[in-house]
């Protein structure tokens, strides 16, 4: 288990710059949309918002499988996985994210669902703009929480090996 925890902590750290890059692309597309009114930039912004949440959800899924040893099943598994990350699991791990982060990320989770299930010409520019506007502070908090969790994993792995 020690190497699995160390590997997971490293994976969390390695994903942060990739998620940050997706955010920058979403913001750049949004800025270009405002300058040109070319709705292809709306599509790009929406797709990168999708990528932002997908990157985080992949990490949450790895945490659920590696640490919790269980991942939600069924039609609502995406929502339940996010809630699972917000809950402390006594004798296993602390909460991965705060209630505030869970609430904010739930908006991105819901939008990810829209990106997957509607035609691109159906995106609501106002909604995309709202999500773009708040993405930096949301990610800043979630990144801090995930890096703190990576520290927990490394500390726990060291303690186990003593």
- Per-residue model confidence (pLDDT) at position 78: 94
CA 84, CA 56: separation in Å to the nearest integer? 13
Three-state DSSP class for residue 93: strand
CA 137, CA 105: separation in Å to the nearest integer? 11
CA 145, CA 96: separation in Å to the nearest integer? 6
Which DSSP letter does residue 28 get? H
Percent share of the chain, pLDDT over 70:
96
DSSP string, 112-128: HHHHHHS-GGG--HHHH
- Per-residue model confidence (pLDDT) at position 152: 96
Domains of the chain: 2-161 (1.20.120)
Contact 161, 128 (CB under 8 A): no
* Cβ-based neighbour number of residue 48 at 10 Å: 23
- Per-residue model confidence (pLDDT) at position 80: 97
- Per-residue model confidence (pLDDT) at position 56: 98
pLDDT tens for residues 23-73? 999 999 999 998 987 888 999 999 999 999 999 999 999 999 999 999 999
């Amino acid at each position: 288990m020690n190497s699995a925890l160390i590997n997971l902590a490293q994976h969390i750290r390695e994903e942060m710059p990739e998620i940050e890059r997706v955010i920058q692309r979403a913001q750049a597309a949004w800025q270009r949309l405002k300058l040109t009114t070319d709705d292809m930039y709306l599509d790009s912004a929406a797709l990168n918002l999708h990528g932002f949440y997908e990157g985080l959800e992949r990490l949450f899924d790895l945490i659920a499988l590696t640490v919790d040893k269980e991942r939600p099943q069924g039609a609502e598994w995406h929502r339940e996985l996010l809630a699972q990350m917000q809950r402390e699991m006594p004798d296993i791990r602390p909460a991965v994210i705060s209630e505030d982060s869970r609430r904010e990320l739930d908006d991105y989770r819901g939008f990810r669902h829209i990106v997957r299930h509607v035609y691109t010409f159906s995106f609501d520019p106002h909604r995309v703009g709202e999500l773009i506007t708040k993405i930096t502070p949301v990610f800043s908090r979630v990144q801090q929480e995930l890096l703190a969790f990576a520290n927990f994993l490394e500390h726990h792995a060291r303690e186990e090996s003593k």
